[in-house]
Structure 1
Amino acid sequence: MKSLQRFQELSLYYKINILIIGLLLLSSCIIGAIMLKSTSRLLDSQMEKRGTEIASYVAALGSNDILLDDRFSLFDLINKTKSNNEDVRYIIISDSAGRILAHTFSGLLPQGLPEVLLPPQSMLNEPVPVHPQQASQSINNYYVTHFSSNEGPIREIMYPIESGIGYVRIGMSEKTTQMLLSHKLDEIILTTLLICFLAASGATYMTSRIIHPLRALSTAARQIQKGNYNVQATVQTRDELGHLSKTFNAMAVSIHEKDRENRRLLEELRTKEGMRASLMNKLFTAQEDERLRISRELHDETGQSMASLLAYMKVLLSKLTDNRQRQLLLDARDVAVSVLEGLRKMAVELRPPVLDYLGIVAAMEKYLTNFGRQNAIDVHFQPPNEKLIVSNEVSLTLYRILQESLTNITKHAQASQVDVELTKTGDHVKMIIKDDGRGIRPNAICNALQNNRLGIYGMQERAELLGGSLAFRSLENKGTTIILILPIGSDAYGKD
């Protein structure tokens, strides 16, 4: 697996070279093996043929010497024949019983060579040629035996002498054949190496010519990946690579045009997004300013007017003597007191003074206390461990998102408990609001936006305008967790 992975990681240049050289080596080895085997068979056949010719020659000339029991002539014949043929290791003449009559060994026979050797029965049934001319034409009437001696492998050819008076045993040494085969093997190896070298040189050259356009395309593709869409592949061939280069260049031009168009649209989108953010910021600022103005008018003007009205009612009550009129005036005073309390509550909700004078933590504590008492919900608030100093925008955003979240919990969540946690982490403030209600459906935000219920969407807009984030985590019937993270801001003040 590792070898395959490494091969896959190689360059196409090396893969093609390895493939070509590998195929050449395989083909050369197969052809060399076939040639070597054919040459070996041919040499074996030629050796047997030569051995039978020599054996028939000796059998024809030595038959009379055997009949006359002229051992000297037999020794002279076989020694001269051996000296005239380099590949003949020995010549033995034996009688019909296999006993040796004459041989060319100066000493003992080589180890592994039998002294008495009889031919097979099939050879004894064959007719023996009488004349040398017939012997040279009947070279198939012989028997071949292979021996492994201390001098190496020996191929012995047993040839019958006429009238069946004996046999000629010619020992052909295979050293010459092996040397010739070794020489042929060296030639095949050298030829294979030369062919592989030439093929490798040619393959390297052709591969470089083929790979060069691909490298140019690869370089151009990397430039496009880096964002340089003006690059063009310079491939001048008319083959498939040339067509691919033209297609690639056309694609690069198209991508360049699309990139310019996308950049233009992105710039327009950024401009519009900036305008939208600016308008949203101005909208929220105007909303807060209007709330502050209305809160002050309700507190300063309308509240003072209602207080004056109550004072006049008190004066009238002191001067009335009719009980019925006094009761009517008392009822009217109670209504005026209720209206005055409602105005004060509305003014506080529009812009709580504690937010401006005591800070966000105190404002949240007071609001949560009133919320829990008015809605019969168990509220737990965990303030930060350290003094929290945030900008005015962040303070207002925290308070408004807390208001909107608790309003949604009252209307939709059917919760019995709410946990609020406010912490400071580095240069960010984090608020977590968790309830045990029925949860928010995954598409609630999209549905709220489509149905013009902008509470949740407005919360996200407020957070994003200050560079923060608002996340919802909710499971059906398992409550909802709202996580708000905001940067503290630069125009922070020290009220807590």
Structure 2
Amino acid sequence: MIKLQKISIYYKINAIIIGILLLFSIIIGVIMIGTTERLLNYQMEKRGAEVATYIASLSNNDILLDDHYALFDRLNKAKNNNDDIRYILITDSYGRVLAHTFSGLLPQGLANTPKSSPAKIAFTPPIALDNATPEGYQIAKYNSNEGLVREIIVPIEAGSIGFVRVGMLEKTTQKLLNKNINEFFIITLILCSLASLFATRLSSIIIRPVARLAKATKEIERGNFSIKTEVTTEDEIGHLASAFNQMAATLEQKKQENNRLLEELRTKEALRAVLMNKLYTIQEEERKRISRELHDETNQSLASLLAYMKVLLSKLTDEHQKTLLLGARDVAVNVLEGLRKMAVELRPPILDDLGIIAAMEKYIQTFRNQHLMEVSFLTPAVPPLLSNEISLALYRILQESLTNIAKHAQATQVYITLSYYENKVTLMIEDNGKGISTEALEKAHKNGRLGIYGMKERAELLGGNFEFETTTGQGTLITVQLPMRLE
């Protein structure tokens, strides 16, 4: 069935036309053969009956006068004038042979004794003519050694004097029938050949617009919506071609509209990328400014305050006042430490002074001390030469990843790898925590917690790739790949 479905409709139409023609030819052939056979048999019987009737009408007096010579002469002349007559017999009313056309023995099966002299054979005469034809003669069939013999029996004077028996071989009829059958099959073969040519031509005419539609469909599949197919008819295929052209025009219009929208989207995406990049730049600059202000102004002010408090503490004599001043100094020390930590998180000076690896090591060491978590950090032997934007992006992604691990992962180990190859720097962060499900990720996105999406956005803005792999109960792997230098 699958192979049949793959056959071209061109061959299917040819097969249907030729198959129907062959079926009709077989049916007509069977009907024609049967009709011809019946017609030939009828004509053979009529001819035998005419010969027998003619002989019966002339042999009446010869039988009564016992003129056997005249009978034999008449029978032989009648037989010689008709090629399909095998024999002619004249019997009396008792079935005794009076005259015949055999030169020797009768054919096997013609009489009860197969190999007997005709003079010694007595045929059983018909007792009655109940099964006679409307013309008044009987028909009998014998299987002889020469084939099927059809015998026509005509009574002489209603059978009171005797009977004329004319035996006709069906071989002659069969030969004629076979000749007609051969001619029929030759004609059928010629007609089938002509029908094949006609079917091929008709199929090509029918299939041509369908083939054009199929070809146009392939062009549509390739994205060529400007393709048009020729409409040559007004039938169903013509209507289909018109509908196809209309569909192609609609698709072309939609394609142009989509291209316009896509171009607008690309323009907006490029503008958004520029705005996001500026936003990150402004954000980092603001962090840098605030970090410097905290470090240069606020820290110095607190340091000066601690110095004044130290001087003041040395001049106090009241123990209660000293206690109060020591408590205030401790508060100022804690505030100073908090401000220093905040300044480092906002913009670590070590990132600008010593590079990305030193900044990462410092942050990781602080993370270990705060969260008591085992963190492994593998770096290349030779530090990569990275631009400021790339270094800052890697540092922020590391910060965000470790913050998420501390808050949500419930991990005990973290593996961090920094490597570079062929102008690409890769940061991999893997933990053995509980992972995060897709539902939780979508919920965090809806609630505005965009840590992962923010890291992805930051990486893509710099022309890099961000991959996030997580398995519930088996941890999370973040892989970031960025160019070492921005073009």
Q: TM-score, normalised to structure 2's length?
A: 0.81
1:5: which partner in 2?
A: 5
Task: Select the residue among 291, 294, 298 that pairs with 1:298.
Answer: 294
2:439: which partner in 1?
A: 442
Task: Say whether 1:77 aligns with 2:69.
Answer: no
Q: Could you tell me how far apart the structure 2 residues matched to 1:217 and 1:159 are?
A: 74
2:384: which partner in 1?
A: 389
CA RMSD of aligned residues (A): 3.9
Q: Could you tell me how far apart the structure 2 residues matched to 1:216 and 1:127 are?
A: 75
* Paired letter, 2:482: P
- 1:389/1:102 CA distance change after superposition, 3 Å: farther
Q: Could you tell me how far apart the structure 2 residues matched to 1:176 and 1:94 are?
A: 26
Task: Say whether 1:351 aligns with 2:347.
Answer: yes
Shift of 1:274: 0.2
1:157: which partner in 2?
A: 151
Q: Could you tell me how far apart the structure 2 residues matched to 1:122 and 1:173 are?
A: 21
Shift of 1:358: 5.2
Q: Could you tell me how far apart the structure 2 residues matched to 1:438 and 1:229 are?
A: 47
Query: Given that residues 440 and 480 in structure 1 are in contact (C-alpha distance below 8 angstroms), is that contact kept between their aligned partners in structure 2?
Result: no
Query: Given that residues 444 and 450 in structure 2 are in contact (C-alpha distance below 8 angstroms), is that contact kept between their aligned partners in structure 1?
Result: yes
Query: Given that residues 111 and 123 in structure 2 are in contact (C-alpha distance below 8 angstroms), is that contact kept between their aligned partners in structure 1?
Result: no
Task: Select the residue among 469, 484, 487 that pairs with 1:489.
Answer: 484
Write out aligned runs for 1:30-429 (5 A). Answer: 30-58=27-55, 61=58, 72-92=69-89, 103-106=100-103, 116=113, 123-126=126-129, 137-139=135-137, 141-147=138-144, 149=145, 151=146, 153-157=147-151, 159=153, 162=156, 163=159, 168-356=164-352, 359-376=355-372, 378-381=373-376, 383=378, 389=384, 391-392=386-387, 393-411=389-407, 413=408, 415-422=410-417, 424=419, 427=424, 429=426
Query: Given that residues 226 and 249 in structure 2 are in contact (C-alpha distance below 8 angstroms), is that contact kept between their aligned partners in structure 1?
Result: yes
* Paired letter, 1:471: F
Residue by residue, what CA displacement relative to the aligned partner does 1:143-162 show, whole Å, maximum 9, x if unpaired?
Answer: 22344x3x5x3323152654
Q: Could you tell me how far apart the structure 2 residues matched to 1:358 and 1:305 are?
A: 27
Identity among equivalent positions (%) equals: 51
Shift of 1:273: 0.4
Which stretch shows the higher mean deviation, 29-38 or 264-273? 29-38
Query: Given that residues 306 and 332 in structure 2 are in contact (C-alpha distance below 8 angstroms), is that contact kept between their aligned partners in structure 1?
Result: yes
Unmatched 5+ stretches in structure 2: 115-120
Residue by residue, what CA displacement relative to the aligned partner does 1:79-98 show, whole Å, maximum 9, x if unpaired?
Answer: 22221111113345567787
Shift of 1:54: 3.1
- 1:190/1:127 CA distance change after superposition, 3 Å: closer
Provide the aligned length of Structure 1 versus Structure 2.
475
Q: Could you tell me how far apart the structure 2 residues matched to 1:128 and 1:249 are?
A: 78
Residue by residue, what CA displacement relative to the aligned partner does 1:7-41 show, whole Å, maximum 9, x if unpaired?
Answer: 2xx1x333333322322222122112211111112
* Paired letter, 1:183: K
Query: Given that residues 397 and 462 in structure 1 are in contact (C-alpha distance below 8 angstroms), is that contact kept between their aligned partners in structure 2?
Result: yes
Q: Could you tell me how far apart the structure 1 residues matched to 2:307 and 2:341 are?
A: 21
Which stretch shows the higher mean deviation, 282-291 or 99-108? 99-108
Residue by residue, what CA displacement relative to the aligned partner does 1:287-324 show, whole Å, maximum 9, x if unpaired?
Answer: 22222333333334433444444444445545555444
Query: Given that residues 393 and 458 in structure 2 are in contact (C-alpha distance below 8 angstroms), is that contact kept between their aligned partners in structure 1?
Result: yes
Query: Given that residues 155 and 173 in structure 1 are in contact (C-alpha distance below 8 angstroms), is that contact kept between their aligned partners in structure 2?
Result: yes
| Corresponding residue SS for 2:439 | coil
Shift of 1:275: 0.3
Q: Could you tell me how far apart the structure 2 residues matched to 1:419 and 1:261 are?
A: 50
Unmatched 5+ stretches in structure 1: 130-134
Residue by residue, what CA displacement relative to the aligned partner does 1:39-58 show, whole Å, maximum 9, x if unpaired?
Answer: 11211222233233334444
